[in-house]
Amino acid sequence: MIKILEFQKVTKEEIFSRVVNEVDVSCIVSEIIENVKEKKDKALYYYCEKFDKAKLSSLEVTKEEIDEAYNKVDKEFLRILNKAAENIKKFHLKQVREGFKIKDEDGIIIGQKITPVDSAGLYVPGGTAAYPSTVLMDSIPAKIAGCKEVVIVTPPDSLGNINPVILAAAKIAGVDRIFKVGGAQAIAALAYGTETIPKVDKIVGPGNSFVAEAKKQVFGEVSIDMIAGPSEILVIADDKSNPKFVAADMLSQAEHDKLANAVLITDSLEFAKEVQRELEIQIPKLERKEIARCSIDNNGKIIVCDNLSQAIEISNEIAPEHLELCVDNPFDYLDKIRHAGSIFMGRYCPEALGD
């Protein structure tokens, strides 16, 4: 069961501590990277059979496979993917930067030229969950920026197939090539190139501890976006919020990973108890209930504070990846939020829809 902590009665360490992965995978990842550098495709086939239990005849997804997958996906879901792609394009078009020139009184010209990288490699997690949102969120900005080649690496299932929704999202986003490779070996392939997979200029996308460590080790040979830690969500909610909604939003991240962090900050002890009860009702109903249970019990916390201003101060100290403001007039608090990856405004703006 998730812990309820009263802010005035606990230490800062209890409030602000984050779970860390204590398993050192650096040696394993280093060996995988060296093997891929030396043996290239041969190593990728070996690791695919070892880790994914798939014996592949080729690494690249064919156009026929993509088209077949696209036609399998529910038409309503395709409509949603297309709408999401449209929204993402609108947002990221606003981020496009332009160069500039400055000429001073002596005629000296200085300036900045903005140039896209030629190629980008996108890592898309596989396994028991599918993340078409990752495909759209990573590939569409790359296309808007002007990357000439955008490729995806993602692990196959034991039959050597990629989840159809991943391939459908890739087609919608205009991805150039897709490869059936996951894990640290996929990152190594993008960093150094193999007979099949091209070396890229930048690697982006989330992954497990092996993927994160691989990105760390190849950084310098290739640009990366970041070394991401476990997924996390922080919800600031008052007692007017629906405890069922808040619990569901916390679980939307808790089910990602046993190391994920789900935190609620509220000024109501009774509301904290309601959310605690609701989590116990919802967890058994999840497909990934074992992961969610481990995450909530070991890493989750509900912090009860004096008021919403204090809640925001605590949130700024935590600096969460995802922050929900489930309060009246959330935009009144926006300027006070200094440290958060993304902010979801209001009681009906779940992180799962906007991430």
Residues assigned a catalytic role: 321-322
Closest C-alpha among 195, 322, 148 to residue 251: 322
Strand-pair partners of 345: 325
Counting every residue written for the chain, the total comes to: 355
Closest C-alpha among 169, 17, 151 to residue 82: 169
Whole-angstrom Cα Rg for the chain: 22
Which is it for strands 223-224 and 177-179: parallel, antiparallel or unpaired?
Answer: unpaired
Measured torsion, CA atoms of residues 212, 213, 218, 223, in degrees rounded to the nearest 10 = 30
DSSP string, 26-62: HHHHHHHHHHHHHHTHHHHHHHHHHHH----S-SBPP
Q: b/e per residue, 124-144, with b = 16+ CB within 10 A?
A: bbbeeebbbbbbbbbbbbbbb
